Amino acid sequence: MVKVMVTGATGLLGRAVVAELEAHADFEVLACGYSRAVQGIYRLDLTHCSQVTAFIKTHQPDVIVHCAAERRPDVSEQNPAAALALNADATRSLTQAASQSGAWLLYISTDYVFDGTTPPYNEHSATNPVNFYGDSKRQGEMIVTEAKQGFAILRLPILYGAVETLPESAVMILLHQLLDKNEQLVDDRAVRSPTSTADIACAIVQMIQLQTAGEPLSGHYHFSASGSMSKYQMLLAMGDLLGLSTEHLKPVTSPTDSAKRPHDCSLSCERLASLSIQSNVMFNSGIEKALQQSPAAMALLKK
Ligand code: NAP
């Protein structure tokens, strides 16, 4: 039995990772959340180093999938100390504890470590984040790399999946703009590759299976769905899927977000592809399933 600790298990990606691990009989899952930790989930404040050390010493996981993060660029910009405490300092605590206990750490990172000017980015491309969120995640990556323990980093693009509330996903929240028939300005500039959390969770489980079977994985990996779209194009696809008019949507090319966003961080994913780990979920089928699995979305659609 492989004991896998998942941080951020109450979050968008962590929930999918826990579900996929639990579907395999050979994993024992230690799901860790924070403010949303309910029965069956350990409440662990990762910003308290002593809590992290004690948890890992007590439970001795074989693998740690570190999903927890402050992932909102605007919030990170407004409160950089809090973003750094979770994205970098907590990563240091986990890295140190994992090094001491012999656990393998998989750090979940982002395409926002790149500046978006020269896509596609491979696993060896130079990083140059354009906002504080990307910078804090890059600091987390550096901490993991500098530990020299054979840990791995998995960079991901924008996520969608089953949500508790629509703002949990920068893709799912677009549904509001589709349903509000007043004129809606939608970003048609930034190029994204929306990727399903269920798809990523399958890839993460495959990575863990290889690692624990004696095929060590270390360093940087990329995972992304194929196909690039702007948020405007995502909405056109969702409108088509749901049979809803998109005439009220107006594409705009000037960003309105407070934190700067990179233009196009498309990832090439050669390292995982060479291990036969690839995305299997296209946007249309993935978003349809995610909407069906999200009561908040279904309730809006039934109105
Ligand atoms: P999320 O939904 O915002 O979840 C964040 C998680 O962090 C929650 O489980 C939260 O727990 C936990 N957390 C917050 N503060 C904590 C603390 N002090 N101690 C312990 N846990 C704490 O994030 P996500 O979207 O799943 O992102 C997962 C990973 O993917 C992150 O590393 C992110 O950088 C990366 N990523 C995300 C996207 C995206 O589009 N979302 C894109 C690329 C990469 P509670 O809710 O219980 O407090």
pLDDT in tens, 222-250: 999 998 999 999 999 999 999 999 999 99
pTM for this entry: 0.97
Q: What pLDDT was estimated at residue 303?
A: 80
Please state the atom number of ligand 1 nearest to the C-alpha of residue 168.
2
Q: Which residue has the CA at smallest separation from atom 41 of ligand 1?
A: 159
Ligand 1 within 6 A of CB of 34: yes
Which regions in the chain score pLDDT beneath 70?
none
* CA distances from residue 28 to 6, 138, 274 in whole angstroms, order as listed: 11, 30, 28
Please state the atom number of ligand 1 nearest to the C-alpha of residue 9.
9
Confirm or reject CATH 3.40.50.300 for domain 2-164+194-228+266-281, answering yes or no: no
In terms of Cα–Cα distance, which of 171, 163, 281 is closest to 231?
171
Ligand 1 within 6 A of CB of 224: no
Q: What pLDDT was estimated at residue 259?
A: 75
Please state the atom number of ligand 1 nearest to the C-alpha of residue 34.
47
**Helix, strand, coil share of the chain (percent; to 5):** 45, 15, 40
